[in-house]
Copies of this chain bind each other. A is one copy, B any other.
Amino acid sequence: MSSMELWYTEKQTENFGITMKIKQTMVHEQTDFQELAMIETEEYGNMLVLDGMVMTTERDEFVYHEMVAHPSLFTHPNPENVLVVGGGDGGVIREVLKHPQVKKAVLVDIDGKVIEYSKQYLPSIAGKLEDPRVEVIVNDGYMHIHDHKNTYDVIMVDSTEPVGPAVNLFTKGFYQGIYDALKEDGIFVAQTDNPWFKADLIQSVNRDVKEVFPIVRVYIANIPTYPSGLWTFTMGSKKYDPLAVDESAIPEIETKYYTPRLHKAAFALPKFVEDLTK
C-alpha cells in the first residue's frame, strides 16, 4: 500500500483538462504510428491513451461504441457487410455483432499494437475480435477503402483526432473513397469530435460530407472522458434517412446507452451545434 498518489492529467485544450487518479501504467511505448499507453485508473478502470488522448476506458466505453454502431445499423434495413476503420480496441465490432443480419465485420486498424494490447488489457471491449464473423486487418484504412469498391453496407470510422495517423481520415478524398466503397444504399458514420473546442472541424467535415452524400445527419452522445463530455458523430447516407426510421420497429438489444427511444432524439442538437451543420 503506497501513500504516493499518481494522477493522469490530460490537457484537452491549452487551458482545460481532466485529471484522474491511477493505480499503474501497464504499457507506455512508441509504436510505429503513435504513442500508446495502457493505464489502470481508479474511477474508470483500464484506459487506452493514444498520443496523449483518452481513447477508451472500461467504465464509459459503452457510450462511444454503442453510438458509433447502432444508429447506422438500425437505419440500414439489411446491413450484411460492415467495415470499421480504426477502432482497434474492438468495441465497435462488439456492438456491430449484436446485429444478427451482419454476416461479416471487417476491422482495419493501422496499428497492430492497439489491437494486441486491447486484447490483453481491455478484454471486455476487445473480446469479440475473435468472433468467426470478424476479419481483422492491420493496414491503412485509407488504402483499404480505395481497394474495395461497392463492397460494404455500412462503414464506420472510429479514428483518433485528425492528428498523427488519422489525418487522412478527415479529408474529402477519404469521404469520396468511402462513398465508392459503399454499396448503392450504403451508410457511413464517423466520430467528429466535440462542438465546444472543435467547432471548426465539425463544420468542415459537415461541408465535405455534404458534397459527397445526399443525406447528412449529425448526432450526439455524452462521453465523460472526452473533451467537454459532448461528442458528435456525422452520418452520410446514400438512401436511408435515420430520421425516417420507425422507432417502434427497432428491436431492443442489450445496451447501456442506445435505446430505440433515443434513436431520433440523438439527432436533436443543441442550438449552437445545430448552427454548425447549416
Contacts and interface: CB of A to CB of B under 8 A. Distances in A.
17 contacts: A15-B21, A16-B20, A16-B21, A18-B19, A60-B196, A222-B270, A223-B229, A224-B229, A224-B230, A228-B229, A229-B230, A255-B271, A256-B272, A257-B271, A258-B271, A261-B269, A261-B274
Number of this chain's copies in the assembly equals: 2
Contacts of A228: 222, 224, 229
Contact of A42 (B14, B220, B269, B274): B14
Given A16-B18, A18-B16, A257 B272 contact: yes
A13 B264 CA distance: 32
A17 B16 contact: no
A17 B15 contact: no
A16 B15 CA distance: 17
A228 B13 CA distance: 17
Nearest to A63: B270
A262 interface: yes
Given A223-B229, A257-B272, 10 more contacts: A15-B20, A15-B42, A224-B230, A229-B230, A258-B270, A259-B271, A259-B274, A264-B268, A265-B266, A265-B267
Interface string A233-265: 000000000000000000000011111011011
A25 interface: no
Nearest to A230: B222
Interface residues of A, number: 42
Interface of A: 9, 13-21, 41-44, 60, 63, 196, 220-224, 228-230, 255-259, 261-262, 264-272, 274
A13 B43 contact: yes
Which A-B residue pairs are the 4 nearest by beta carbons? A229-B229, A265-B268, A15-B42, A265-B265
Contacts of A272: 256-257
A18 B10 CA distance: 9
A2 B11 CA distance: 20
Nearest to A272: B256
A100 to B, nearest CB: 20
A261 B268 contact: yes
Name the residue in A44, A229, A255 with the highest tally of chain B Cβ atoms < 10 Å from its Cβ: A229
A256 B229 contact: no
Contacts of A267: 265
Contact of A262 (B16, B43, B222, B268): B268
B16 A44 contact: yes
Contacts of A264: 265, 268
Contacts of A222: 220, 222, 228-230, 270
